[in-house]
Amino acid sequence: MPEVQVRKKLTMVEEIFHEGGPISSKPLRRAAALAVIHNPFAERYVEDIAGFMDDLKPLGLEMAKSLIAALGGDPKTVEGFGKGAIVGSAGELEHGALWHVPGGYAMRQLLGDAKAIVASTKKVGGPGTRLDVPVTHINASYVRSHFDAMEVGVTDAPRSSEIVLVLVMTSGPRIHARVGGLKASEIKGEDGLR
């Protein structure tokens, strides 16, 4: 399988103090790591692509580590996660799906026994395409306070033969979460859902 060729990396961190309501004593932090890589399958149909998932694992780990560092360095502070991919115009959506395993595996490995499925989204688009990466609680998908999303994008990527890979981690609930539902304190942690 081809080597992973990185053109560019982008790290985005947001620290949110309030959104019109009381200023939180513990600001919400959201971080995204983006890597712009060459798409080795661009411009033609390649049947056998699955092996590239293994090649992406080291990059996934590196990105997940950089996110934990961006959120302060302690994996225990990470409460939400998500992932996504933007495939350039000479590729297909299926190439974005190659990111599911290595992206998810990397975050799970570093976050201990994170049980929930990693929320994800993907699309094909041109340079500057924005992606709303969905975010859910790392141990229980139904925790309503942690349903969130982070918009990301890179001005000059993806070029036609590139893929933008994205991982997102957050430090807590939405800043003024107050619409009920399952709370983080009520997680049973058995099935990854509740």
Partner 1 sequence: MKARIRKLATFLEETQEEMGQTINPPTRRAAAVAVIENPCAGKYKEDLSDLITIGEELGELLAQRAVAALGVSGTAVESYGKAAAVGENGEIEHAAAILHPKLGTPVRRVLGKGAALIPSSKKRGGMGVVLDVPLGHKDAAYVRSHFDGMEVRINDAPRANEIMVAVAVTDSGRPLARVGGLTKDQIKGEDGLR
Answer whether 99's CB lies under 8 Å from 83's CB: yes
| Beta carbon of residue 139, minimum distance to partner 1 (angstroms, whole number) | 26
CA atoms within 13 A on the CB side of 68: 17
Does 7 sit near partner 1 (CB under 8 A)? Answer: yes
* Total residues binding partner 1 (CB under 8 A): 19
| Beta carbon of residue 184, minimum distance to partner 1 (angstroms, whole number) | 22
Does 121 sit near partner 1 (CB under 8 A)? Answer: no
Phi, psi of 54 (to 5 degrees): -65, -40
| Beta carbon of residue 121, minimum distance to partner 1 (angstroms, whole number) | 15
Does 65 sit near partner 1 (CB under 8 A)? Answer: no
Answer whether 168's CB lies under 8 Å from 81's CB: yes
Applying CB under 8 A, the span of 10-18, 46-54, 80-88, 113-121 interacting with partner 1 comes to 10-18
Please report, for residues 42, 107, 122, 164, the alpha-carbon distance to residue 9 in angstroms, rounded to integers and kept in the order given.
Answer: 20, 18, 18, 9
Does 186 sit near partner 1 (CB under 8 A)? Answer: no
Applying CB under 8 A, the span of 13-21, 48-56, 77-85, 104-112 interacting with partner 1 comes to 13-21
Q: How far apart are CA 146 and CA 80, in angstroms?
A: 7
Does 109 sit near partner 1 (CB under 8 A)? Answer: no
Site string for partner 1, 144-183 (x = CB under 8 A): -------x-x-x----------------------------
Residue with tokens 């893929």: 163
Task: Indicate which single residue of 18, 51, 72, 188 sits in contact with partner 1 (rule: CB under 8 A).
Answer: 18
Task: Indicate which single residue of 8, 93, 94, 186 sits in contact with partner 1 (rule: CB under 8 A).
Answer: 8
Find out whether the peptide bond into 158 is cis, omega within 30 degrees of 0.
Answer: yes
Mention every residue, 6+ apart, whose C-beta is less than 8 A from residue 177: 144, 145, 146
> In this structure, are strands 162-170 and 131-137 parallel, antiparallel, or unpaired?
unpaired
Residues forming contacts to partner 1 in the complex (CB under 8 A) are: 5-19, 130, 151, 153, 155
